[in-house]
Structure 1
Amino acid sequence: MKNTNIESTILRAVWSSVEAINKNTLLQLNDTDLTYRVIRQVEKASILSSEDHQSLIDYIKSRAWLIRDIADSQI
């Protein structure tokens, strides 16, 4: 995994977005769709630079299993 430097406010927005998305939806999405669903939610709350956008893609893809595990435990 690349060494990414993502601001803490963006990371909080990611996990808040994960919490806001329907858990069944998260479990049904493939990694790419899950990543872009979360990014769309984050972009509603903040503007991302192109560098932040790419770092966020890498970050979310590397944690897709964790996102699904959290969603599964909350159903």
Structure 2
Amino acid sequence: MGQSQAFTQDREPELNFFEMGINYSCGRQVTADLIEAHKWFNIAAMRGDLEAARRRQEIASEMSAFEIAAAQRRAREWLSVH
């Protein structure tokens, strides 16, 4: 089972997505990764989480255009199979 699956079991999906973003942005329980953080905040924001949208914007200011594009691509890929 991958890290993403382990974190998302047995919780409300929208909260899980936001928590995943927090985990990756802060390096809590996982290695810090702004691309993954942006991906999870993006997914949560798409589901109506306004705080996730704010956090996504905040970390995007620390990312290159290439990194943001990679995060958006990962979010689309994740959504296409879930």
Which bracket does the TM-score occupy, shorter chain normalised?
0.3 to 0.5
The two structures have a TM-score, normalised by structure 1, of 0.36
The two structures have a TM-score, normalised by structure 2, of 0.34
Larger relative contact order (CA 8 Å, sep ≥ 6): 1
